[in-house]
Structure 1
Amino acid sequence: MPPRLLLTGLAKSVPGGRTLFQGLDLTVGPGELVAIMGESGVGKSTLLNIIAGLDKPDTGTVAVEGAALSEMDEAAATNLRRDRIGFVFQAFHILPYLTLRQNVALPLALGRTAARAATARADAMLELVGLPTRGADYARDLSGGELQRVAIARALVHDPALILADEPTGNLDPETADRILALFADAVRSRGAAAVIVTHSLVAAAVADRTLRLTATGLVPHDG
């Protein structure tokens, strides 16, 4: 069985010729959480976008469950993102005009899951993240911690192979962040997904199995 995520020899430069990173390799297996840290501007979010197929490396390959993004056309890459990758954004991106149930079910709707089945799975995920009675509510009625729970539920509802999280606790107070991180880690491991967390937070990195630092020459063990 191939790893959930395999990065080989990635390199990326920005306009003007500055190299963000090169020679970057990473393997992430089922149930494994990897945290990536680094200074602002080093390219952490760019790396996450490359993994998701939203940006292209200058050289190197990205494979999700053995499927190489570089060998796919845009339609195939879009389908892979929809079906096999979950996203947890720093700013939540919960759609205000949809109920929480509809927000969580969105990946299923995009994948053409039948409406009744999508609703049942969304409700089950909301219960998993501790919001069993809030499916009919809207984002305006929730706290930041509750919105982040909804974002995690949406990222997991379609049983993705890979979950990508960009500063998942950046807007949360420390106590709420601890609870959300524990919930996130438990959900990822219990489902056998792989997760890559990009973060500045040592607290967020503490839930990971490995913490790496992004440098111009690739990923190295974090020494902090």
Structure 2
Amino acid sequence: MLHVSGLVKTVPGGRTLFRGIDLALAPGEFVAITGESGAGKSTLLNLVAGLDSPDAGSVHIAGTDIASLDDDGRTRLRRDRIGFVFQAFHVLPHLDLAHNVALPLALQGREADESLAAAKAMLESVGLGGRDDAYPRELSGGELQRVAVARALVHRPDLILADEPTGNLDPDTAARTLALFVEQVRHAGAAVLLVTHSTVAAAVADRSLVLSPAGLVERA
């Protein structure tokens, strides 16, 4: 599903974030990456998503080398094959929950009725059934992250990229949200690449890796 080979990334000033990153995810596999602050975990996700370009190396998603795609091609790849879950939720405040969750389907050009029906079913699956017409301002942080999980999965992507999805939540809410996230992505059969500071979050993955300047190493 995902194959990363020899990624190198430097930042302004010439500091090398990492060198020689190699990573492979099989369909449905869940991999967590931890590392010190500033190690480049979020940068690695951006490289995988085609939102940034490496100094060397390659990223293939479902057999497609993202470097071979133009901007429109990378946008279509993200739209059709990738779901995103962020620490800051990125739920749109002016849209109700159903329309927030339906957004990936709308971007694919799906019919409005079909998109909203799928969004309402996803909200039901994350425990927010009956709140389709609520607005983000009415929700708690944990509920907002549930909306974000529903939105990430509604278009049935092959790959989920999750950046500190429980980082803004208190420990109890984080634990419940993490359990729901794992349940939903396992049910969807999506591959997951999760970056996190939390060893608790990393422990739910099939494999846990540590990002260092030298590359990725298996967590002991």
Q: Which category of TM-score, normalised to the shorter sequence, fits these structures? A: over 0.9
Counterpart of 2:24?
27
CA contact (8 A) 1:7 1:61 kept: yes
CA contact (8 A) 1:164 1:196 kept: yes
TM-score normalised to structure 2 length: 0.98
The match for 1:193 among 190, 194, 202 is 190
State the Cα distance separating 1:194 from its structure 2 match.
0.5
State the Cα distance separating 1:14 from its structure 2 match.
0.8
State the Cα distance separating 1:130 from its structure 2 match.
0.5
| RMSD value, Cα | 0.8
Q: Distance in 2 between matches of 1:192 and 1:63?
A: 19
Residue 166 of structure 1 aligns with an amino acid whose one-letter code is: D
Give per-residue Cα distances to partners, 1:34-87, cap 9 Å, x unaligned. 111000111111101001100000111111111110111111000000111000
Q: Distance in 2 between matches of 1:210 and 1:45?
A: 18
* SS, match of residue 56 in structure 1: coil
Q: Distance in 2 between matches of 1:195 and 1:128?
A: 19
Aligned 1:209-224 pairs, distance under 5 A:
209-223=206-220
State the Cα distance separating 1:32 from its structure 2 match.
1.2
Check if 1:145 corresponds to 2:142.
yes
State the Cα distance separating 1:116 from its structure 2 match.
0.7
State the Cα distance separating 1:215 from its structure 2 match.
0.7
Residue 65 of structure 2 aligns with an amino acid whose one-letter code is: A
State the Cα distance separating 1:217 from its structure 2 match.
1.2
Give per-residue Cα distances to partners, 1:203-224, cap 9 Å, x unaligned. 111111111000111100123x
Check if 1:58 corresponds to 2:51.
no
Counterpart of 2:181?
184
- Gapped runs of 5+ residues in structure 2? none
State the Cα distance separating 1:114 from its structure 2 match.
0.5
Q: Distance in 1 between matches of 2:210 and 2:94?
A: 38
The match for 1:47 among 44, 49, 53 is 44
Give per-residue Cα distances to partners, 1:125-151, cap 9 Å, x unaligned. 001100001110000110000000000
Q: Distance in 1 between matches of 2:46 and 2:40?
A: 10
Q: Distance in 1 between matches of 2:145 and 2:204?
A: 16
State the Cα distance separating 1:117 from its structure 2 match.
0.5
Q: Which 4+ runs in 1 deviate beyond 4 A?
A: none
Give per-residue Cα distances to partners, 1:175-197, cap 9 Å, x unaligned. 21111111111211222211111
* SS, match of residue 211 in structure 1: strand
% identity of equivalent residues: 64
TM-score normalised to structure 1 length: 0.96
* SS, match of residue 87 in structure 2: coil
Residue 150 of structure 2 aligns with an amino acid whose one-letter code is: A
* SS, match of residue 108 in structure 1: helix
Counterpart of 2:6?
9
Check if 1:109 corresponds to 2:106.
yes
Check if 1:71 corresponds to 2:71.
no
Aligned 1:165-180 pairs, distance under 5 A:
165-180=162-177
* SS, match of residue 70 in structure 1: helix
Q: Distance in 2 between matches of 1:5 and 1:179?
A: 28
Q: Distance in 2 between matches of 1:171 and 1:37?
A: 17
- Gapped runs of 5+ residues in structure 1? none
Residue 131 of structure 1 aligns with an amino acid whose one-letter code is: L
* SS, match of residue 157 in structure 2: coil
> Aligned pair count?
220
